[in-house]
A and B are shown apart, each in its own frame.
Chain A
């Protein structure tokens, strides 16, 4: 009786030890750098590095969402599309985005007022401003993400946010103007905002 009990304990204990070893080894051998979930979310974010989500950049926000420390709906420039994509990755219910999606903007420096202090250059998270000390600075419009981080440090307030110019190449067809297309669109929008 006691003998058979011993066999069972040994067999099960041995198996548990073996499995534990296999798991320990494989966790070392097949180790993945970083957090794959966070990487996935980071890839969905618009990379404006604007900080409007309350985190100091897109990567920190992605980390926070991946570890359930933040909601999926804080990315303002990403808008609804990004929120839906993140909610899909996280497997949670979509939530309405904090703020309405604004028209895309870019920063513009009024160069004759610029004093060449380089403060905006230091503030730009994507190196979209060029210039040197005591030289006029200018914004590379194609690289500007519209994060507005350069406005605050400017001592002479010579930076404006202007609407991103609409390009003919970037124009796309709207939905057809038919009842079915429009009702479908309205239904989708009301669903997302519930």
Chain B
């Protein structure tokens, strides 16, 4: 009751259920962002976001400029891809991308010419306050901006004004709750004004008057820097504030953060806009600023290179398409024997089989961990002892141990009854499990199997329809032929009397 009262007064923010406090290991939090040199070859995959893949617009041998659109978006949930630097297209073929399957996608190989010339066809928009919201949204789309927090969902889709679901609050997600990662932290320290500017553009686009910059309390310098930016900026008519939150994983997850900030849960299967909120990542907000005010498409991003096996850890501004092997080499790591390399953070990132993979829009970090550090804890899975730690840790309120049993036994309908599809795969349950059960892995397996079943059902249904329409078509043709034959027979067939005469 008292808590609720306090919450109403805005003294304390509502915490989300569950969560964990992992060892944050933010070793690179005070190393300034450094620019990674241009590699000798850039490999640009045709899909760097959630949604449909793009199709190439350039041919082998074409000269391209930095920021030139080299692949066009196919379908609505898609954004175009741009050349990360100026140079020549030397080949277009399949290449591995950061994906747990180790599979590849068609990619454009660009050999940089070293000049790094920009394509200047996009005009800067400094007067965005008086700009049509639709035009700004189109700018964000053509600049290829996708969520830089790791999910890489096309950003323009979220930046929409909907009469039924007006956006009241824009939340800037400066939580960065994954251990090791410090790229958003450094961006807030070094580019606070650009981020605030980007936030104002977002607020203008969605028509929101309230903005909250949410930062965890382990980033004192980022809080200070953002607060200074807010104090200095000219933000008349807008209510922008910096909100400091206690450190807790997975607070940076969109739905958890919204629950903490506004005290309302986003219902299952709904979007943040249904509770009047949109959430944007720090890096994405800066990219929106650059796209609108400078006219720069997304060609580079900040990423953290860390882990106990990296001699020279740091935060790097990397061109998209740079090979991870090149980046590691820049930081003094060349021998990968016995190391685990991770794309993203240790909680939700994926293990890569080799470092010959390009950086894409969703690459938040690059970790290299020694075997001792990584601990192959999950190799020995013990039986569940029903301690319930996983249920306590789950931020969604699921029962991971029961859910894992159903997934392990491929009882997909039961797993769906236990809300398998609400799982955000944050890894909190796997982290706390004393029996080392790879819970999230089971959920991913279960989700994949369920998706496979659904795909097969859809295909079977489509095949049935095609087969049925073929049958009706054949029947109709047969009937038409029969009718025609009957007609011909009626007009041309010999009359009964003639036939009788013929017989005689």
Interface set, chain A 36-78, CB cutoff 8 A to B: 42, 45-49, 57-58
Q: Which of B103, B462, B466 contacts A171 (CB 8 A)?
A: B103
Decide yes or no whether A145 CB sits under 8 A from chain B.
Answer: yes
Q: Identify the closest chain B residue to A174 (Cβ).
A: B445
Q: Is the CB of B383 within 8 A of A127?
A: no
Please name all residues of chain B whose beta carbon is closer than 8 Å to the beta carbon of A179 when the two chains form the complex.
380-381
Contact status of A48 and B463, CB under 8 A, knowing A172-B445, A173-B445: yes
Q: Which of A58, A143, A170 contacts B464 (CB 8 A)?
A: A58
In the complex, what distance in Å separates the CA atom of A48 from the CA atom of B97?
33
Q: Identify the closest chain A residue to B460 (Cβ).
A: A47
Q: Could you show 15 A-B contacts with beta carbons less than 8 Å apart?
A: A46-B459, A47-B464, A49-B463, A127-B470, A168-B47, A171-B101, A171-B448, A172-B451, A173-B444, A173-B447, A173-B448, A178-B378, A178-B380, A178-B381, A188-B410
CB-CB contacts of B456-478 with A at 8 A, as 1s and 0s?
10011111101101100000000
Decide yes or no whether A175 CB sits under 8 A from chain B.
Answer: yes
- Distance to closest chain B CB from A159 (angstroms): 19
Q: Is the CB of B467 within 8 A of A49?
A: yes
Please name all residues of chain A whose beta carbon is closer than 8 Å to the beta carbon of B104 when the two chains form the complex.
168
Name B's A-contacting residues (CB within 8 A). 47, 97, 99-101, 103-105, 378-381, 383, 408-410, 438, 441-442, 444-445, 447-449, 451-453, 455-456, 459-464, 466-467, 469-470
Please name all residues of chain B whose beta carbon is closer than 8 Å to the beta carbon of A172 when the two chains form the complex.
444-445, 447-449, 451-452
Q: Is the CB of A168 within 8 A of B99?
A: yes
In the complex, what distance in Å separates the CA atom of A29 from the CA atom of B460?
33
Known: A125-B467, A168-B99, A176-B438. 11 other contacts (CB 8 A): A47-B464, A127-B466, A128-B466, A143-B463, A166-B103, A168-B104, A170-B455, A172-B444, A176-B445, A179-B381, A188-B409
In the complex, what distance in Å separates the CA atom of A57 from the CA atom of B452?
23
In the complex, what distance in Å separates the CA atom of A25 from the CA atom of B462?
38
In the complex, what distance in Å separates the CA atom of A143 from the CA atom of B452?
17
Chain A interfacial residues counted at CB < 8 A: 31
Please name all residues of chain B whose beta carbon is closer than 8 Å to the beta carbon of A143 when the two chains form the complex.
462-463, 466
- Distance to closest chain A CB from B466 (angstroms): 4
In the complex, what distance in Å separates the CA atom of A52 from the CA atom of B452?
23
The interface residues of chain A, by DSSP majority, are classed as: loop
Interface set, chain A 146-183, CB cutoff 8 A to B: 166, 168, 170-181
Please name all residues of chain A whose beta carbon is closer than 8 Å to the beta carbon of B448 when the two chains form the complex.
171-173
Q: Which 4 A-B pairs have the closest CB atoms?
A: A172-B448, A178-B381, A47-B463, A173-B444
In the complex, what distance in Å separates the CA atom of A184 from the CA atom of B379?
16
Q: Which of B100, B381, B466, B467 contacts A181 (CB 8 A)?
A: B381
- Distance to closest chain B CB from A104 (angstroms): 10
- Distance to closest chain A CB from B344 (angstroms): 16
In the complex, what distance in Å separates the CA atom of A166 from the CA atom of B105?
11
Please name all residues of chain A whose beta carbon is closer than 8 Å to the beta carbon of B462 when the two chains form the complex.
143
In the complex, what distance in Å separates the CA atom of A145 from the CA atom of B470?
15
Q: Identify the closest chain B residue to A179 (Cβ).
A: B381
Q: Is the CB of B408 within 8 A of A175?
A: yes
Q: Identify the closest chain A residue to B383 (Cβ).
A: A180
- Distance to closest chain B CB from A181 (angstroms): 6
Q: Which of A46, A128, A168 contacts B103 (CB 8 A)?
A: A168
Q: Identify the closest chain A residue to B443 (Cβ).
A: A173
Q: Is the CB of B378 within 8 A of A126?
A: no
Please name all residues of chain B whose beta carbon is closer than 8 Å to the beta carbon of A46 when the two chains form the complex.
456, 459-460, 463
Please name all residues of chain B whose beta carbon is closer than 8 Å to the beta carbon of A184 when the two chains form the complex.
408-409
Please name all residues of chain B whose beta carbon is closer than 8 Å to the beta carbon of A180 when the two chains form the complex.
381, 383, 408
Q: Is the CB of B460 within 8 A of A176?
A: no
Please name all residues of chain B whose beta carbon is closer than 8 Å to the beta carbon of A58 when the two chains form the complex.
464, 467
Q: Which of B380, B456, B467 contacts A126 (CB 8 A)?
A: B467
- Distance to closest chain A CB from B351 (angstroms): 12
CB-CB contacts of A120-142 with B at 8 A, as 1s and 0s?
00000111100000000000000
Please name all residues of chain A whose beta carbon is closer than 8 Å to the beta carbon of B466 when the two chains form the complex.
126-128, 143
Contact status of A47 and B438, CB under 8 A, knowing A168-B103, A172-B445: no
* Of listed A58, A180, A188, residue having the most chain B CB within 10 A: A180
Please name all residues of chain A whose beta carbon is closer than 8 Å to the beta carbon of B464 when the two chains form the complex.
42, 47, 58
Q: Is the CB of B470 within 8 A of A125?
A: yes
Q: Identify the closest chain B residue to A79 (Cβ).
A: B456
- Distance to closest chain B CB from A135 (angstroms): 20
In the complex, what distance in Å separates the CA atom of A173 from the CA atom of B459?
21
Q: Which of A127, A145, A174, A181 contacts B408 (CB 8 A)?
A: A181
Q: Is the CB of B441 within 8 A of A173?
A: yes
Please name all residues of chain A whose beta carbon is closer than 8 Å to the beta carbon of B441 when the two chains form the complex.
173, 176
- Distance to closest chain B CB from A82 (angstroms): 9
Q: Is the CB of A176 within 8 A of B101?
A: no
Contact status of A126 and B470, CB under 8 A, knowing A176-B381, A178-B379: yes
Contact status of A57 and B381, CB under 8 A, knowing A168-B101, A175-B445: no
- Distance to closest chain B CB from A180 (angstroms): 5
In the complex, what distance in Å separates the CA atom of A145 from the CA atom of B408?
29
- Distance to closest chain B CB from A84 (angstroms): 10
Please name all residues of chain A whose beta carbon is closer than 8 Å to the beta carbon of B451 when the two chains form the complex.
172
Please name all residues of chain B whose beta carbon is closer than 8 Å to the beta carbon of A174 when the two chains form the complex.
445
In the complex, what distance in Å separates the CA atom of A42 from the CA atom of B438?
37
Please name all residues of chain A whose beta carbon is closer than 8 Å to the beta carbon of B463 when the two chains form the complex.
46-49, 126, 143, 145
Please name all residues of chain B whose beta carbon is closer than 8 Å to the beta carbon of A48 when the two chains form the complex.
463
In the complex, what distance in Å separates the CA atom of A176 from the CA atom of B492?
76
In the complex, what distance in Å separates the CA atom of A185 from the CA atom of B447?
17
Contact status of A47 and B409, CB under 8 A, knowing A173-B445, A178-B381, A178-B438: no
In the complex, what distance in Å separates the CA atom of A127 from the CA atom of B453?
23
Q: Is the CB of A173 within 8 A of B100?
A: yes
In the complex, what distance in Å separates the CA atom of A157 from the CA atom of B245?
70
- Distance to closest chain A CB from B352 (angstroms): 15
